[in-house]
Structure 1
Amino acid sequence: MIIVTTNDLPGFRILAVHGEVMGLTVRSRDAATSWVAGWRAIGGGEIPEFTQMLIESRMQVMGRMVEEAQRRGANAIVAMRFDANEIAQAWTEICAYGTAVTVEPIADGPGATAQSRQLASQPVPTLQPQAPAQGYAPPQMVPPMRGEVPWPPPPGPGGPPQR
C-alpha cells in the first residue's frame, strides 16, 4: 500500500477512486501516566509517555485506514491526513483519513519516473476487495527506492523487505 500526503502520486496514474477511507481511535490517559507526565511537564521538554501513546495511536488508525482501503480494492491512499481532538478533557480522538485509489506505474513518457519505469516492467496484481480481518495491524509502507524495487510487494505481516 502506497500512502502519500500529496493529491497525486508522481510516476503513477490513478485508475480508480474508491472514496474516502479513515481509521479512528479514542484514547484515555490512565491516571499513572497522567501523574508522571504532570511531573515531567513542570521541568519542560518532551513527555515520553504521551509521545509513545500518540505514536501507537497513529499506527493503529493508519492500520485501520489501510484495511478499509484494501477492502475497497485500492492499492494506494492519496491526500492522507491526521486529525486529533480532545473530548471532554479526558479523551483524545485520533483520526487518519485519505482517498483510496487504484494506481498503476507510468512506464514511459510524460510523468514517468525512474521508480515507475522499473515498477511498470514487473507484473501488477489485480486487487480484489477483501473481507475485514480480525484486529488491526500497522500499515505496510513502501520503502525508499534503492536498486530493484519489489513490485508487487511480497505479502505477509512484515511487508516489503528492507534494503
Structure 2
Amino acid sequence: MMTSTTSDIAGFVVVRNLGVVDALTVNAVGAAGNVLGGLQALTGGKLSAYYELDENTRKEAFNKMCEVASGKGANAVVGVRIQTQGFAQGVLEVLCYGTAVLVQPL
C-alpha cells in the first residue's frame, strides 16, 4: 500500500477516489510500565515504556487504516494524517486517516 501525506503520489495518477478511511487505536502501558516510566523520568533520558507505547500504537493505527483502504479496493492512501491524544498517564489514543484511492503509473 502506497501512502502519502500529500494529495498525490509522484509518478502516479489518481484514477478513482474511494473515500475517507480511518482507524482508531487506544493502548496503555501496564502498572509496571508506569512505574518504570516514572523512575526514568526522575533520572532523565529516554522514557522507554512510553516511547514503545507511542510507537506501537501509531503503527497499529496506520496499519489498520491501510487494511481498511485495501478492503475498499485501494492501492494507495493520500492525505494521511495522524492525531494523538493522551487520556491519563500511560494511556494513548491514535487516530490515523486519509483518502483511499486507486492510482496507476503515469
* Same fold at TM > 0.5: yes
- The structure in which a higher percent of residues are strand is 2
TM-score by length of 1: 0.61
Amino acid at match of 1:25: T
Q: How does 1:89-128 map to 2 (within 5 A)?
A: 89-90=88-89, 91-106=91-106
Aligned residues: CA RMSD: 1.2
- Distance in 2 (CA, whole Å) between partners of 1:12 and 1:67 is 21
Unaligned runs of 5+ in 2: none
Amino acid at match of 1:9: I
- The structure in which a higher percent of residues are helix is 2
Task: State the number of aligned residues.
Answer: 105
Hey, what does 1:34 align to over in structure 2? 34
- Distance in 1 (CA, whole Å) between partners of 2:47 and 2:74 is 37
In 1, are the aligned partners of 2:57 and 2:92 still within 8 Å (CA)? no
- The Cα shift of 1:44 comes to 2.1
Q: Which secondary structure does the structure 1 equivalent of 2:27 belong to? A: strand
Unaligned runs of 5+ in 1: 107-163
**Larger relative contact order (C-alpha < 8 A, sep ≥ 6)?**
2
- The Cα shift of 1:84 comes to 0.6
**Stretches (4+) displaced over 4 A:** none
Aligned residues with identical type, % of pairs: 33
In 1, are the aligned partners of 2:57 and 2:94 still within 8 Å (CA)? yes
Amino acid at match of 1:104: Q
Hey, what does 1:77 align to over in structure 2? 77
Hey, what does 1:22 align to over in structure 2? 22
TM-score by length of 2: 0.91
